[in-house]
Structure 1
Amino acid sequence: MQLSELRLSENILVTGAAGFIGSYLCHRLLSLGYSVVGVDNINSYYDVSLKHERLCYLKGKPGFTFVMGDISNKELMLRLFAEQKFDRVIHLAAQAGVRYSIENPDAYISSNIVGFYDILESCRKYLVQHLVYASSSSVYGSNVKVPFEESDNVDHPVSLYAATKKSNELMAHTYSHLYKIPATGLRFFTVYGPMGRPDMAYFSFANQYFKGEPIRIFNNGDFDHDLYRDFTYIDDIIEGIVRLLPEAPSATEGVPHRVLNIGNNSPEKLMTFIFTLEKAFSNALGRKVEFEKIYEPIKPGDVPATYASIEKLQSLVGFKPQTPIEVGLQKFADWYVEYYKVK
């Protein structure tokens, strides 16, 4: 089944619509002609002006409706589902960040557990054709076998954020088993790109450089045993979600629930990523850019490597992310220079 076979009259809910992935996804779905309702509470975890900027690109577009609200408000969610009669739901709203989950655990329980429960309850009461929800590569914890496969044991998370995402997968599986809700969990691997999240390393490195501050690299300065990350460009993530949307799992094959990795399948050393980012800004500015670097111990909750096996994704939708970091980071640097007017 191809995306073109989805009815253009379908009404799609995207939670986290003012977020990085959510805003890109809303834009793509609207460009394809679908009706989209976006929900976001625009919290202050990072600069809200960037969230408002993302929404500016969406508001006023035909077929788009924005609702400012919190997914942990069950009454709001049930009312919205009753009024809108959504065909498909893409649930991206969550309290993000591995390190922040150590500082503010309450936010993760409220959004990632209670909020997700509200989404599941709404999908149960007003049955949808497909629930696609965000999980995370963080569920793999400190697994040493690579690449990470969906069948790997993920019972030992090393952060509360990872634990909430593992909980989401279990909750979704249970609701799929009990109520036959077709659901797909997507384990995202380090998503980056223009208009991304300022709390992510590549974005914060840029901010620190242009403030004249050193960047702090949490890898012990051990280049031979550097951290590896499967950096995945935003356009590849969106393409994967859009292709998966019509491909709901079937109850005829058992419980209509599955989890899929969506990553670049090509991990890079953190230092390689940083050197590539320096080169991208050098190109964007027409001068040499070199970050002042301070090396510190690995932070609690961080994992040594992430590396996605994407055979299941590729088999299902005939697509694999493939944007190299040289291309993706150049697009980010070009956007950053223009958006923040830096020189």
Structure 2
Amino acid sequence: MYLEKACISISEFSLLNKLVVIESSIPPGTFEELVIPILTKKNKLGSEFWIVFVPERLAPGQAFTDIQNTPRVIGFIDENSGIIAKALYEKIVNAEILLTSVRIAEISKLVENTFRDVNVALANEVGIICESYGTDVDELIRVRNSHPRVKLLQPGPGGGGPCLPKDPYLLLNPQRKQPISSRIILDSRSINDSMPDHVVNLIKESLGIQNKMLTGTSILVLGVAYKANVSDTRLSPAKEVISQLIKNGSVVRVFDPNTTESFGGETVSEIWKALSMSDVLVVLTDHDVFKKLNLKQIQQTMKRNPIIVDTRRIFNRKEAEDLGIQYVAVGYAGKIKT
């Protein structure tokens, strides 16, 4: 465990008049059960050194802005540590700073990401329901979100990144205690983990309308980063989508200007050349540069009877269909259900 190794390393030195700040996401109980015992072997907490847990709250691509402008939570065991840490963060943060117990701070970080994960799962489930009804989830979101107390998220290909896929499990697995059971949290994780399978099925069913199969089909994937405008591909749903397509015999090419990762597909640097060889275009990341692509040019460049599977809804559905493109999205199955 990296945190344990770090604590052991700094515990070998004098911590006199030092403030130790832990910002890693950790299972509840880690601060008191692991960190404190290691650091207090040679140093006395509260009189010789101070320590706090401050949950990290930043998003890739906007770290500096988030560090300065996002409210911060400081968890402490002894009050002096909290007071000293707050004085430090007040010099950095232009937002509210909340002091609380270290256990609440540990749990709060994990609940924040679990809350997001559960809401993503709800959006994905509603999207699949809309496909079954033959409706468009985008229109449902437009109407439903007019309610002042409702904000349904946009469904997509699944959750990814370094936080959402793991933090719900950390929440349910406290340090040195038995796991906690939870239906809604684990079911949400299961839904989000299954979305790459759903995307592959949408591709397969779209091809089936044209009496085609995944085998031998040329597919261009736009984006493998787990979110827009970053290079981070950790736990990206693109990995599973691409792996399944390759396993089923598709010829998969990948274009992502922010990373060289391709998850086994062929990396391409010229998008229009790749489009000219493609039967299907699959959008897995909503980079801003992709939103500027011209649908008419895409239709004219791709092979005959082009299919777009737009899991991020970066293109206008009506425009695509008016151009004769077979358009499918998570939450809109198009001709599949008709």
Alignment TM-score > 0.5, same fold: no
Q: TM-score range by the shorter chain?
A: under 0.3
Q: From the CA coordinates, give the structure whose radius of gyration is larger.
A: 2
* Greater RCO, CA 8 A, separation 6+: 1
TM superposition score normalised by structure 1:
0.24
